[in-house]
Amino acid sequence: MNSKETSQSSSSQKTCDTFHSTIEFIGKRWTGVIIYRLLDGPKRYFELAEEISGISDRLLTERLRELETQGFVLKKTSGPGTRKVEYELTDMGRETEEIIQAIVKWVKKHGCASVENNSSIEE
């Protein structure tokens, strides 16, 4: 293999790894639904918990932390002395809107009994 082929091969591998990691992250259980719900705008923790039927408090907290760490979500507190915390999508998180909406459209077109009956995904 010459140096050009090696460079192309490592570049393809890096792209593959990055693509795979991204799909794995967004496809992680509940992550896509949390992003979907935040597309409507900032929400408090209890609002997300109410809108996402079946998610445990522990898992919602864990996923919100992961989304914040990865730069998809911003956790905003409303000043000293108050406990009001809101979660909202960052610009990077908002960039997933087209992807999330495409998945919703695909599910509606092709059907999936477990998703069609899930109140967490609706238009």
Instruction: Strands of the chain (E only): list them.
Output: 43-44, 73-77, 85-89
Band the pLDDT of 2: cuts 50, 70, 90: low
Residue written as token pair 């996923």: 63
For residue 119, what pLDDT is reported?
A: 46
Q: What is the pLDDT of residue 123?
A: 42
CATH-assigned architecture of domain 30-116: Orthogonal Bundle (1.10)
- 67 near 31, Cβ under 8 Å? yes
Is residue 30 scored above 90 in pLDDT?
yes
Confidence (pLDDT) at 117: 45
Q: Is 34 helix (H, G, I), strand (E, B) or coil?
A: helix
> Could you tell me the residue ranges of all domains in the chain?
30-116
Distances (CA, A) of 115 to 2, 99, 108: 49, 17, 9
